[in-house]
Copies of this chain bind each other. A is one copy, B any other.
Amino acid sequence: MNALEQLIDALRCLPGVGQKSAQRMAYHLLQHDRAGAVRLSEALRAAGERVGHCERCYTFSEAGLCEICRDDGRDARLLAVVETPADQAALERTGSYRGYYFVLQGRVSPLDGIGGREIGVRQLLERVQDGPLEEVILATSFTAEGEATAHVLAQALRSRGVKSTRLARGVPVGSELEYVDLGTIAHALVDRR
């Protein structure tokens, strides 16, 4: 493969990008935006090298502890458990949550052999021992797998005597949290059960 073909091929690692889009992207960059291509190349390299996971909440972070975990002005009695950093960002953007987070490595999916261990239940249980926690808010998606994940987590937490709640069903059933409008999420947060 020549360099152009390799670029088209490499662009297909992006989610939602097939052969046709990849070709269009490559042609666009080479014809109209070489500076953008250089910038993207550098940004990919830098992010790959510098972005790791927070030691405490497992979200993306360049430092050992992320900004939120370093912020001691938040409510240490609350911990919201989410499936992805994207879901965390959605919850954070509502502006109506002031506790801390724990970011799972996805959600359980028995058919794919992904259970509690794979998504980080052990790390979550370690985290809940650490600090004056009163409530764990299970903010996983309202999909079948998100519900199953919440169920697994609730059981594990109960065995440690930790109370967990679920976002209220204001969040439309069957939807990914990341794509829900902020108002709905904010409302669901207040009505958590």
Tell whether A30 pairs with B47 under 8 Å between CB atoms, given A15-B24, A36-B10, A37-B13: yes
Contact A51 B3 (CB under 8 A): yes
Q: Chain B residues with Cβ under 8 A from A172's Cβ?
A: none
Bound CA span A30–B86, Å? 12
Q: How far is the CB of A113 from chain B (nearest CB, A)?
A: 16
Contact A43 B86 (CB under 8 A): no
Chain A positions within 8 Å of B, measured between CB atoms, are 2-4, 6-7, 9-11, 13-16, 21, 23-31, 33-34, 36-51, 60, 62, 84-86, 89, 178
Tell whether A47 pairs with B26 under 8 Å between CB atoms, given A13-B36, A13-B39: yes
Other A-B pairs beyond A3-B43, A3-B62, A16-B21, 17, CB < 8 Å: A4-B51, A4-B60, A6-B46, A6-B47, A7-B46, A10-B36, A11-B43, A13-B29, A13-B33, A14-B28, A16-B24, A24-B86, A24-B178, A34-B48, A38-B48, A41-B45, A41-B48
Contact B9 A43 (CB under 8 A): yes
Contact of A25 among B14, B29, B39 (CB under 8 A): B14
